[in-house]
Structure 1
Amino acid sequence: MRVLIVTYWELTQMGGIWTYVKQLADRLMALGVEVDIMGTNGAKNEVYIRNLNRSFSKDKVWPMLQAKLNPTDLPHFTADSLVAYYELNRYAFEMGAAYLGVDHYDVIHAQDPVAAVAIKRILNRNTPLVTSYHGALARETFYDAQNSNAQLTLPAYLQSKRGRYFLSLEERSAEQSELILVSSHWIKSTLAELHVPEWKFRLIPYAVDLPSYRAQAAIRFRHRKPAGKKVIAFTGRLEYIKGVHVLIKALSSLKKIRSDWVCWIAGEGNLRDELYTQAMKAGVDSDIVFWGKLDNIPSFLRRADIYVQPSLQDTQPFSVTEAQLAGLPVIVSDTAGMPEMVQPEHTGWVVPPQDAESLSTLLNALLQDDATRTKVGAAAKAWAEQHRSLKEMGMRTLHVYQEAIQMGGHRK
């Protein structure tokens, strides 16, 4: 079997989609499947097949696309700069994928609705399409918009032209896919609201390569935590949807009560400077270390005492699973798919989303209760080791591919 795993998004070493793609590809190849990985290289503005070192420069078609998708001929199309950006890049991605070739695969596994729609448009044969939904794109863009308009509500956004555009991408990709992979009941219910039939869904939780994780964790992190202080950790992209601003606000309240802690934040993103400024204004900049991108998160987490995932929306963050495997008590927001990863007060805690005071209160309680942290962290590790097997995820995904092949691709 030959499989193309494809995403419209950039393939980087940081972020959940790359973690999923890399681990799945490795596992499938161990099972004898031929796997190619296609994505975008933003630095070079190209579409490329990562493992084959083949690429297509979007610069070749960009002038032509800009000329055709112009404000004079298509005023409604170009009225929203974000929609125009997505459409220009989607067409360029389509052309790149067509140039690189997609018709010789037995199954195509898209990692997002944009890639699914693009690939389906260029297929010349009935190749089965399986699509993974790692998040709810329309809702993610809502949170980005809410960052600059705090009064904006989700229902109002989803009725706007921009909201309807992103919903249409999700609807079209779901309709054109033979089968749909989801990692949580939450993302399944979100897609079900778009009238996706129940029979299309296959729920397979994310997993971690446990031997690889343990090997990384065995390497000692190069920095010790400050004497007499416990480490509150976060790992992930520094973007609004990840809720790091909520964590900093909670730490500002926590500092008024106690100072026996430090917060370590690992990750990069476009809000890095804004978050650092927020920390300075809140008087906690000396209590927070922004580590930037780290190559060994399991080693980093060995120094931590508590892990916080304050996201406004997240499906099944790998960062939470990595923290659980490190034996850390985790705190997650009570939204999206995150509550499905935690048994409250047994393997972690759930706090209301964007509620900095509740988070601060819980952090205060955990910092003064070593026994509870140890007990809950141990239970979290045992749960993750039992329920996050990469071998099982790989085998179940392969079965979905085989099922899609038996169903046969349907025509565009």
Structure 2
Amino acid sequence: MKILLVTYWWLTSVGGIRTYMNQLAERLRTHGHEVDLMGTDLATNTVYVAGQERRFAKDTVLPLIRRNLAGAPLPALQACPQAMAIESDRYAFEMGAAVLGVNQYDLIHAQDPIAALCIRRILRRNIPLIVSFHGSLAREGYYDSRSVHPNLTWAEFRSGTYGKHYSSLEYLGAEAADLVLVSSGWIKGIIMESGIPEHKIRQVPYGVDVQAFLLQSAVEFPKPKPPGKRLIMYTGRVEYVKGVHILIEALGQLRQARSDWICWIIGDGTLLPQLQHRSMELGLNQDVEFLGRIDNIPSALKKADIYVQPSLQDTQPFSLTEAQLAGVACIAANATGMPEMIQEGVTGRLFAPENPGSLADGLNLLLNSSHERRHLGLKAKRWVAAHRTLDQMYQGTWKVYQELI
């Protein structure tokens, strides 16, 4: 079977969507299927299929699209630069997908609602179309806005043009697909709230390639852990929605109580300079190290004593799953899809979301007890091995594919 995995977002960026697409594609290919990955190259602003030379430059059509939108009777849209930018760009992506071709596939699996909507509009025959929701587009937009306007409420965002536009795209993307695939009950509830019926939604949790993880973790990470210090770790994008700023504030409070720890923040993103500056303001120069992007996360996790997932929104973060599989004691925000991954006091700890004091208290308790850290890490590792393998994810996803074939 010939399958297309497609995302409107950046296929070249590090993140959960790319990890999911690569893992699923690899497993599909081992079962004899032909799989293409389509997305956007952020560096060149082109739509492309991985491994193929043909590309569609969005910049060649964006001026025309913007002129047409500016001349249309859409005053609310035109008054909102963020919505205008997304609306223009999605038309350009749609044109790129049409030029590259989508009608030659037996099944198309979109990785976001914008891609699903675009693909449905350009299909010329009845090809099964599935869409995965790896998060809430509208809520991601909300937290992006909060990074600039910290006091903005969800009700205020949702009532504005930007929020309405993102919410509409979420609904239209889910409505355009034959089936909707989610990894958590939280995101399933969000989609149902928009008006999509439950019978159209299938839930398949994410999985991790255990064998590949173990092979990577067997490699010694070159950076040594300071002697006499417990290592706190975060891995992932350094963006507002990931809550790394909450972690920095919590570490500032923790530093007032004890100094027997160090924190490594592994990853890159737009918030990095701001967080480095804030870390200096809090006097954490010797306590927090920003290591940037690294190639072997499993190897680094072997050195960690505590892993923190402070996200404001996360459906089922791969980074948290990897830390659990590494046997690291984890503490995560009690928000969105993360409580579905952690049983409080059994497979990890939860803290009040967006509350640095609650996180600082949780870290302090974990630092106090090596026994609890070992207990939580062992239980989490067993849970992942039993419930979050790549084989389980593949089998569940293939079952959804078969419904439509």
> 1:8-407 to 2 correspondence within 5 Å?
8-12=8-12, 14-70=14-70, 74-405=74-405
Letter aligned with residue 357 of structure 1: G
How many angstroms does 1:102 deviate by?
Answer: 0.2
- Number of matched residues? 405
SS of the residue corresponding to residue 22 of structure 1 reads: helix
How many angstroms does 1:72 deviate by?
Answer: 8.0
Deviates more, 1:3-12 or 1:152-161: 152-161
Letter aligned with residue 128 of structure 1: P
CA distance in 2, matches of 1:147, 1:281: 19
CA 1:169/1:257 → structure 2, altered by over 3 Å: closer, same or farther?
Answer: same
Q: What is the TM-score with the length of structure 2 in the denominator?
A: 0.98
CA distance in 1, matches of 2:230, 2:263: 8
How many angstroms does 1:389 deviate by?
Answer: 1.3
SS of the residue corresponding to residue 85 of structure 1 reads: helix
Letter aligned with residue 323 of structure 1: A
In structure 2, the residue matched to 1:2 is 2
How many angstroms does 1:227 deviate by?
Answer: 1.0
Which gives a bigger RCO, structure 1 or 2 (Cα 8 Å, sep 6+)? 1
In structure 2, the residue matched to 1:408 is none
CA distance in 1, matches of 2:313, 2:109: 24
Kindly indicate whether the alpha-carbon contact (under 8 Å) linking 1:242 and 1:313 is maintained by their aligned counterparts in 2.
Answer: yes
CA distance in 1, matches of 2:134, 2:259: 37
Listed one character per residue, the Cα deviations across residues 68-107 of structure 1 (whole Å, up to 9, x for unaligned) are 2226865433211111110111011001000000001111
SS of the residue corresponding to residue 35 of structure 2 reads: strand
CA distance in 2, matches of 1:71, 1:372: 63
Deviates more, 1:282-291 or 1:50-59: 50-59
How many angstroms does 1:62 deviate by?
Answer: 2.2
How many angstroms does 1:13 deviate by?
Answer: 5.2
Kindly indicate whether the alpha-carbon contact (under 8 Å) linking 2:83 and 2:161 is maintained by their aligned counterparts in 1.
Answer: no
SS of the residue corresponding to residue 285 of structure 1 reads: coil
Kindly indicate whether the alpha-carbon contact (under 8 Å) linking 1:310 and 1:353 is maintained by their aligned counterparts in 2.
Answer: yes
Deviates more, 1:2-11 or 1:396-405: 396-405
Deviates more, 1:59-68 or 1:69-78: 69-78
SS of the residue corresponding to residue 195 of structure 1 reads: coil
Q: What is the TM-score with the length of structure 1 in the denominator?
A: 0.96
SS of the residue corresponding to residue 51 of structure 2 reads: helix
How many angstroms does 1:57 deviate by?
Answer: 1.3
How many angstroms does 1:64 deviate by?
Answer: 1.8
How many angstroms does 1:396 deviate by?
Answer: 1.8
CA distance in 1, matches of 2:21, 2:200: 21
SS of the residue corresponding to residue 202 of structure 1 reads: strand
Identity %: 50
CA distance in 2, matches of 1:20, 1:51: 18
CA distance in 2, matches of 1:36, 1:77: 34
Letter aligned with residue 255 of structure 1: R
Listed one character per residue, the Cα deviations across residues 23-53 of structure 1 (whole Å, up to 9, x for unaligned) are 0000111111111000000101100001333
SS of the residue corresponding to residue 70 of structure 2 reads: coil
CA distance in 2, matches of 1:346, 1:176: 40
CA distance in 2, matches of 1:86, 1:259: 46
Alignment root-mean-square deviation, CA: 1.2
Kindly indicate whether the alpha-carbon contact (under 8 Å) linking 2:12 and 2:40 is maintained by their aligned counterparts in 1.
Answer: no
CA distance in 2, matches of 1:143, 1:13: 20
How many angstroms does 1:149 deviate by?
Answer: 1.9
Mark the runs of 5 or more structure 2 residues left unpaired by the alignment. none
Kindly indicate whether the alpha-carbon contact (under 8 Å) linking 2:45 and 2:58 is maintained by their aligned counterparts in 1.
Answer: yes
Kindly indicate whether the alpha-carbon contact (under 8 Å) linking 2:12 and 2:42 is maintained by their aligned counterparts in 1.
Answer: no
In structure 2, the residue matched to 1:409 is none
Kindly indicate whether the alpha-carbon contact (under 8 Å) linking 1:71 and 1:79 is maintained by their aligned counterparts in 2.
Answer: no
Kindly indicate whether the alpha-carbon contact (under 8 Å) linking 2:217 and 2:302 is maintained by their aligned counterparts in 1.
Answer: yes
Mark the runs of 5 or more structure 1 residues left unpaired by the alignment. 406-412
SS of the residue corresponding to residue 96 of structure 1 reads: helix
Deviates more, 1:213-222 or 1:158-167: 158-167
CA distance in 1, matches of 2:105, 2:268: 35
CA distance in 1, matches of 2:13, 2:218: 20
CA distance in 2, matches of 1:29, 1:286: 47
Letter aligned with residue 171 of structure 2: E
CA 1:226/1:387 → structure 2, altered by over 3 Å: closer, same or farther?
Answer: same
Deviates more, 1:335-344 or 1:156-165: 156-165
Listed one character per residue, the Cα deviations across residues 258-290 of structure 1 (whole Å, up to 9, x for unaligned) are 001111011110011011111111111321111
SS of the residue corresponding to residue 190 of structure 1 reads: helix
Letter aligned with residue 292 of structure 1: G
Kindly indicate whether the alpha-carbon contact (under 8 Å) linking 1:103 and 1:123 is maintained by their aligned counterparts in 2.
Answer: yes
SS of the residue corresponding to residue 51 of structure 1 reads: coil
Listed one character per residue, the Cα deviations across residues 350-383 of structure 1 (whole Å, up to 9, x for unaligned) are 1110111111111111112111101110111111
Kindly indicate whether the alpha-carbon contact (under 8 Å) linking 1:39 and 1:49 is maintained by their aligned counterparts in 2.
Answer: yes
SS of the residue corresponding to residue 6 of structure 1 reads: strand
CA distance in 1, matches of 2:70, 2:173: 26
